[in-house]
Structure formats: C-alpha cells, structure tokens
Amino acid sequence: MLTRRPSPAEVAARVAATRPDDAGTERRAAWLGSALGVCFTICLLTGLYSHALQNPPSWLTLPSRPVDLYRVTQGLHVVTGLAAVPLLLAKLYAVYHRLFTYPAVRGVGHALERLSLLVLVGGSLFQLGTGVMNLAGWYAFGFFFTAVHYWASWVTVGALLIHVGLKLPQARRGLARTPAPTEEATAARGPDRRGFLTTAGIASGSVVLATAGGTVAPLAGFSVLSPRDPRVGPQGLPVNRTAAAAGIGTVDASYRLVLEGDGRRLALTLDDLRSMPQTTAELPIACVEGWSASGVWSGVPVRDLVALLGRDPADAAEVEVRSLQRTGRYRSSLLLGPHLRDPLTLLALRLGGEPLHPDHGYPLRLIAPNRPGVLQTKWVGRVTVR
C-alpha cells in the first residue's frame, strides 16, 4: 500500500498540534482567557439588562431606581467590551499556532471542539467589531444592530461555555504555575514573557481611559477615542439626533399635547402644561452607545397627566409616548410599571432652568430615571394611557 509522504509544512503543523503547550503559552493563554472571561461576563449581564429594558418581557418588572443604574450598567457594558478588544487580539496572537491543527478533524469530539472554537472566535470578533462600529456611529452593516448583537451574544456564550469546560484543566495549570525562571531561561527567552501580558493589560487599560470619559466626566479630557464629550452640546448636554435630522420644523403656538385614554381626549397647550405643578430633578441621559450626561430637568410628572384623564396611575398598564417625528425607530416609547408611576418620570419643559433647546426635544420631552437614552422620547406630541 502506498502512503503519501507528508510535506514539511504538514509535519511542522502536526508537531505543533501534538506538542503540549509550553508553560509560557499556557500561562499567557490562561491569564488572558480569565481577563476576557471577566470582561465578557460583565458585558453579557449588562447587555441582557439593557435588552430587557428595551424589550421588556411580560414576566419581569424592572425597577425605576436607582436613578443612575442604567448609566452605570451601560457604561460598564461599553467599557468592558472595549477593554476586551486588545485582550482578544493578544489571546489570538498567543494561541495562534494552536488554532490550526493537523489533521483538521480527528473524530466527532474533536470536530465539535473545533467548531465551538470557530464559533467562539468568529462570534467574539463579530460582537466586538460591530459594537465598536455602532459606538462610532458607523452603521455600515445592513442589519438592525441591537437585535443581531443580542442573538449573536447567545451563540458566542454557548461556544464560550464549551471552550471553558474543555480548557479548564489547562487554565488551572496556567494560572497556578509561578514560573521561577532560571537565569539561562530568562536570557534565552528575553524579557518578553511577562512583558507580553503587561503590554496587553496596558493596551486594554488605555482603551478604557480613552473612552470611559464619555460617561465619567472627570475623565473626559483623556477620552480621545470617545465619540461624545458629556460636557459638550447645547445647554451643556450632548445630542444624539438633532431636530433637523429628525425632520422637526418650528413648533409654534398651535402646538397641543394630545392626551388620550379610555375614550377621553384632551388637547393641552404649553401654558396648560406650565400651569401644572412642576417637578425638578437631576436625571441622566444614558445613551446605549455608552456616553451619558446629567441634566437638571423640570416638567410635569407623567402620573399627574394620567390622573388628569381621571385615571388612577396605579391602575394604568402602560403609557405610550409619541413624538412629532414622523419616521424613525425611536419616535415612540412605552412606560410600564415602576417607570410609569415614578414621580420623577417627567414630560420635561425645561433643562437647566431654560426652555428645552430644539435639539433636546422642544417643546416637550420624556425623561425618566434608570432608562436607556433611546427611550427618552423627544418632541412629544401625544400621550396614550392604556
């Protein structure tokens, strides 16, 4: 029987695949893997929380306090995702030679392991890549980002769990091993062993510092990579979509807020709204894209408007807040449960003591505690109580 003689490249690949990792590779892979595990876990949990707020499941009641909760969770989501980018690249670099094995598949178990690794690497690169594009406002992909990002996270996490299960013994060894390098070993390998992990750590920390200022105002001066400076914008607050971009023309004296529910319908002028008791509160805009900034808002609590229809706010199931904007995904939002009843859930007329700037939603905008920015509807024209 004739056997083909393997090429030198195949021999090299076979040797690389069967040779146990040297201690350095194992150690680097384990530390990077653990750091990635921490980032991915925080990113997943905060991402699920954000998803639940934007797509509330019927079995779950989400609180409206603490006021700054979403600002913290979404800040963590974006920061841990960004911190993971250099770590993932370093990890891929450290284990690159292990990604390609010869023969490619050695049976069913091996095939599944290889497949899960492919999904994990592909899924991680996809999540971090599209996440960064989304932060930069570069919507080059032709799909609705948040829905795909959500589903891809489950696929990636599934592959991650399989991977961690398979690599646990190796990771334990890698983390436990404290290399006591002999002088020759240090001389032979050069100082890069520990240096590699340190470099990856510094790269990751720098990315955090260069972006966290989008949420943590004292860091704003460092945050050269953050798309927003939380201190800059009309009335000292950044703007996501301007009135012009949303197609909002000038709002004149003919403006009415339509308040409806239970077959009743009221049309309120701005003066009607101004003559109602006003509440003033410091509340953040916390954009899903990771920037956030606080403002001092004044306006009418939504529950007072519900009461104006003769309804007990405790009985209302939901309130839909609709914008004057004609098209666009974020022209309406729903208030449920605690958010509906919270005395700080306002239809704001003023920001920092002045009437709203057109880009912040003049004449009237929704602002509620612990809520994603995408749900803080601007240019409100209609409120429907159900």
Ligand X SMILES: Nc1nc2c(c(=O)[nH]1)N[C@H]1C(S)=C(S)[C@@H](COP(=O)(O)O)O[C@H]1N2
Nearest residue (beta carbon) to Mo ion: 287
Amino acid letter, residue 86? P
- Contact residues toward ligand X (CB under 6 A) are 237-241, 246, 285, 287, 323, 325, 328, 330-331, 360-361, 373-374, 376-379
In the complex, what is the shortest distance from the CB of residue 271 to Mo ion, in angstroms, rounded to a whole number? 31
Comparison of 287 and 368: residue with beta carbon closer to ligand X:
287
Q: What is the DSSP letter of 102?
A: S
User: Which residue has tokens 């032979």?
Assistant: 188
Nearest residue to ligand X by CB is 373
Q: Of Mo ion, ligand X, none, which one sits near residue 331, judging by CB under 5 to 8 A according to partner kind?
A: ligand X
On whether the CB atoms of residues 22 and 103 are closer than 8 A, the answer is no
Is the CB of 241 or the CB of 382 nearer to Mo ion? 241
Contact footprint for Mo ion (CB under 5 A): 240, 287, 373-374
CB 87 within 8 A of CB 30: no
Of Mo ion, ligand X, none, which one sits near residue 297, judging by CB under 5 to 8 A according to partner kind? none
Write down the least CB distance from residue 289 to Mo ion, Å. Answer: 6
- For the bound state, the minimum distance from the C-beta of residue 176 to ligand X, rounded and expressed in Å, comes to 46
**CA of 357: how far to CAs of 3, 256, 295, 330, in Å?**
79, 18, 13, 19
Choosing among ligand X, Mo ion, none, which partner's interface includes residue 109 (Cβ < 5 to 8 Å by kind)?
Answer: none
Closest separation in Å from C-beta 361 to ligand X: 6
Shortest reach from residue 215's CB to Mo ion, in Å: 13
Q: What is the DSSP letter of 323?
A: E
Element (H, E) at 297: strand 292-301
- Nearest Cα neighbor of 83 from 33, 39, 134, 29 is 39
Cβ proximity to ligand X: between 119 and 285 the closer is 285
Which CA distances in Å does 167 have to 105, 161, 176, 211? 18, 10, 14, 32
Residue 40's binding partner, choosing from ligand X, Mo ion, none, with beta-carbon cut-off 5 to 8 A by kind? none
Of 368 and 374, the one with the shorter C-beta distance to Mo ion is: 374
Cβ distance to ligand X smaller for residue 238 or 363: 238
Three-state DSSP class for 251? coil
Identify the three-state secondary structure at position 156. helix
Out of Mo ion, ligand X, none, what residue 215 binds, judged by CB under 5 to 8 A for its kind, is none
Give the nearest distance from C-beta 106 to ligand X in angstroms: 49
Asked if the peptide bond before residue 234 counts as cis, ω within 30 degrees of 0, the response is no
Other residues' Cβ atoms within 10 Å of the Cβ of residue 227: 16
Q: Which C-beta is closer to Mo ion: that of 32 or that of 283?
A: 283
C-beta of 237: minimal distance to ligand X in Å?
5
Nearest 5°: CA angle at 340, between 339 and 346? Answer: 85
What span, in angstroms and rounded, lies between the C-alpha atoms of 209 and 129? 19
The entry of ligand X, Mo ion, none that residue 285 binds, CB within 5 to 8 Å by partner kind: ligand X
* Shorter beta-carbon distance to Mo ion: residue 208 or 287: 287
Q: Report the distance separating Cα 114 and Cα 257, nearest Å.
A: 59
